Amino acid sequence: MKQTISNRQGKQLAVYSEGVNDAPVLVFSNSLGTDHGMWQPQLNELKSHFNVITYDTRGHGESEVIGDTSLQNLAEDVVDILDALNIEKAHFCGISMGGITGLWLGIHYPERFLSITVANSAAKIGQADAWLSRAESVEQNGLAELVKTTHTRWFSEKFDYQHNVVAQTTIQSLANTPAQGYANACRALAHADLRDEIAQIQIPVLFIAGTYDPVTTVADAEFMQCAINNSQLAKVDASHLSNIEQPQKFTQELTRFIQQL
User: Residue 11 CB: number of other CB atoms within 10 A?
Assistant: 18
* 52 bridge partner residues: 18, 26
What average pLDDT score do residues 198-227 get?
Answer: 98
Say whether pLDDT at 259 is over 90: yes
What average pLDDT score do residues 211-232 get?
Answer: 97
Distance CA 54, CA 30 (A): 8
Distance CA 214, CA 25 (A): 31
**Helix, strand, coil % over all residues of the chain, rounded to 5:** 45, 20, 35
Say whether pLDDT at 230 is over 90: no
Chain-centre distance for alpha carbon 167: 16
Model pLDDT for residues 25-73, shown as the tens digit of each residue: 999 999 999 999 999 999 999 999 999 999 999 999 999 999 999 999 9
Distance CA 1, CA 18 (A): 6
Q: How confident is the model at residue 21 (pLDDT cuts 50, 70, 90)?
A: very high
* Exposure string for 14-39, b = 16+ CB within 10 A, e = fewer: bbbbebeeeebbbbbbbbbbbbbbbb
Amino acid at 211: T
Instruction: Report the DSSP pairing between strands 25-29 and 113-119.
Output: unpaired
Identify the CA nearest to 98 among candidates 136, 130, 54, 129.
54
What are the structural domains, with CATH classification, of the chain? 2-259 (3.40.50.1820)
What average pLDDT score do residues 185-195 get?
Answer: 98
Mean model confidence pLDDT for the chain: 98
pLDDT over 90, % of the chain: 100
